[in-house]
Homo-oligomer: A and B are copies of this chain.
Amino acid sequence: MFDLKSYLAAKQILINNFLQETIKKTANSGRISEAMEYSLMAGGKRIRPVLCMAACEAVNGKYQYALPAACAIEMVHTYSLIHDDLPAMDDDILRRGKETSHVKYDEATAILAGDALLTLAFKTLSMAGLSETDGNTALKWLNIICFISRAAGSEGMIEGQMRDVASEKTILDFDQLEQIHQLKTGALIKASVLTGVILGKGTDEHLQQLKIYGENIGLAFQVADDILNVEGDPIVMGKSAGTDTAHGKNTYPSLMGLAESKKFANKLIARAMNSINSFGTRADPLRAIASYIIKRKQ
């Protein structure tokens, strides 16, 4: 029986150490580094970097090799949370049980800390690439930078956030909502998985199979988030519940009801599992993460 708890704990230590070290090296000991560290080390679940390393392992790669890229993706994720929480966007005051960046510091600092984390992600990726002595491996890192910037930018996450903000208080249909989530959450989760595959030297077939895995768990993650926003415990989650309804947000529960949303999440996870059927035990972490995504309480 695969023990996800220990697996996550071990990977989280690696990730947290790498992130902490990276901030330390970049730091000029001022307010900006402090704000970057505050949000980056606020106790996130590290799902994206863990997925990146687990995907690397699933194709027989060394997960250690994927660590810098995995952490760069977590920086991109954290920057997006800081900016999404801003008064001009979702106006959230609590995140992971702590004050959001603009509440703890101020709006200017929160905007700049987000900007700095996004920039640091690309520095981290380029430095990992520069540590290669072989030029052809360098090309692989350029590919990953291209890949992550597309998933994070106006073709991906940012377009998703734009549509999300624009659609508050209007009613979307199922396809529109799915598209928003594929862009806003799905693109970066899929990129996390595929970055791991590329760094683990997976084959084209691996890439195809794990693309399906990534797409399905990415969407399932968002459906589960919407469900938690309805029935989750604010104390366990470390953030307010019921905020989606209060903001007039389109969510899966608001569109199809709670019971149907749960069925839908299960269907997505079944599809993800199916796509990695042929992988054997080395994909056990990916399977356990897929189950966890819809069972989590926070």
Contact status of A142 and B158, CB under 8 A, knowing A106-B88, A107-B88: no
Q: Are B118's CB and A145's CB within 8 A? A: no
Q: Which A227-244 residues have C-beta < 8 A from chain B?
A: none
Interface size class of A (residues with CB under 8 A): 35 or more
In the complex, whether A288 has a CB less than 8 A from a CB of chain B is: no
Q: Are A32's CB and B115's CB within 8 A? A: no
Q: Are A130's CB and B139's CB within 8 A? A: yes
> Which secondary structure dominates where chain A touches chain B?
helix
Report chain B residues within 8 Å CB of A89. 108, 111
Q: How many identical subunits does the complex contain?
A: 2
- Which one of A27, A122, A130, A135 has the greatest number of beta carbons of chain B within 10 Å? A122
Interface bits A136-175 vs B (CB < 8 Å: 1, else 0) = 1111011101100110111100110111011000000000
Interface bits A83-118 vs B (CB < 8 Å: 1, else 0) = 100101100000000000000001111011011101
Report chain B residues within 8 Å CB of A83. 111-112, 115
Report chain B residues within 8 Å CB of A123. 145-146, 149-150, 153
Report chain B residues within 8 Å CB of A127. 146
Q: Can you list 11 contacts pairing A with B, beta carbon distance less than 8 Å? A: A26-B153, A88-B106, A112-B162, A116-B154, A120-B153, A122-B122, A127-B146, A135-B136, A136-B138, A138-B138, A138-B139
Chain A positions near chain B (C-beta within 8 angstroms): 26-28, 30-33, 36, 79, 83, 86, 88-89, 106-109, 111-112, 114-116, 118-120, 122-123, 125-127, 129-130, 132, 134-139, 141-143, 145-146, 149-150, 152-155, 158-159, 161-163, 165-166
